[in-house]
Amino acid sequence: MMLEVKDLHVTVEGSEILKGLTLTVNPGEVHAIMGPNGAGKSTLSAVIAGKDGYEVTGGSITFEGKDVLEMEIEERAQAGLLLGFQYPVEIPGVKNIYLLKAALNAQRTARGEEEIPAPEFMKLVREKLNFMQMDPSFLQRAVNEGFSGGEKKRNEILQMLVLQPKLAMLDEIDSGLDIDAMKVVAKGINSLRSEERAILLVTHYQRLLDHIEPDVVHVLVDGRIVKSGDKNLALELESRGYDWLVEGSAA
């Protein structure tokens, strides 16, 4: 297995958000985590990525056998865990292309590889940019600065395509996207699908799953996964809502 989350308990500012979450993701799989607002969906990906302010009070996270909670944030990324943000931050003064190159080289260096030669890098980036239907001028703009919501999300996927993570975690990647942007983003994510790679989608709505077909759907309610199933579970949620599961978990 690639990612194993066992009985994870996480507290944020004194209140417990994840209350014994267990999840296993294997290579080649696409998992969707769904659930009502406040269930702890974003907390899960944030904890896996290593965000400050989340206290793990119990349980474990292992990635390819390594204890993720013992790793620095950048080490997690270097190991192949990549988080796509719901609200990517703006970094004025730092060109997009510079961030991409620094990130790629940091990961290569961590793997004991040489830094990528500039021409090879440019070729790679142009190809991915093209695929994401982004204008080359994006590269020269400051990271996310003045980007529209859709542009920011495309940029997150562009980074994924360049960095080629083993496990791509996408937090509400569909929020704020119109249907055309959604199609492009979904195309990007689908292109990441492979035997060696896994994808974890955190989403509130079913509509993203019309474009990216998940292998497993989990329903996260009140800090626990209360139900797992195949893609049909997502459709059921679409028609029935979450209430029937929320009531069940309260017991």
Which residues are near another protein by CB under 8 A?
49-52, 72-74, 76-78, 82-83, 85, 88-89, 91-95, 98-99, 102-103, 106-107, 110, 142, 159, 163
CB of 58 to another protein, least distance (A): 22
Angle of helix 96-110 relative to helix 118-131, nearest 10 degrees? 120
Considering beta carbons, is residue 12 or 103 the nearer one to another protein?
103
Nearer to another protein, 77 or 182 (CB): 77
Integer Cα distance of 136 and 126 in angstroms = 7
Per DSSP, the chain holds a count of helices (H) and strands (E) of 9, 12
Q: Tell me how far apart the alpha carbons of residues 210 and 220 are, in angstroms, rounded to a whole number.
A: 20
Q: Which residues contact 9 (CB under 8 A, 6 or more apart)?
A: 16, 18, 19, 20, 56, 57, 58, 59
CB nearer another protein, residue 176 or residue 229: 176
d(CA 214, CA 230): 7
Minimal CA–CA distance to 121: which of 113, 209, 226? 113
- Residue closer to another protein, measured from CB, 9 or 95: 95
Query: Letter for the amino acid at 233?
Result: L
Least separation in angstroms between CB 127 and another protein: 19
Residue 239 C-beta: closest distance to another protein, Å: 35
To another protein, the closest distance from the beta carbon of 90 in angstroms equals 8
d(CA 189, CA 170): 9
The smaller minimum CB distance to another protein, of residues 12 and 246, is found at 12
Nearest approach, Cβ of 129 to another protein (angstroms)? 17
Closer to another protein at the Cβ: 144 or 206?
144
Distance of closest approach, residue 237 Cβ to another protein, in angstroms: 29
Q: How many CB atoms lie within 10 A of CB 123?
A: 12
CB of 235 to another protein, least distance (A): 32
Q: Are 140 and 96 in contact, with CB atoms under 8 Å apart?
A: yes
Q: Can you point out the beta strands (E) in 29-110?
A: 30-34, 54-63, 66-67, 81-84, 91-95
Return the number of the residue (85 or 242) whose C-beta is nearest another protein: 85
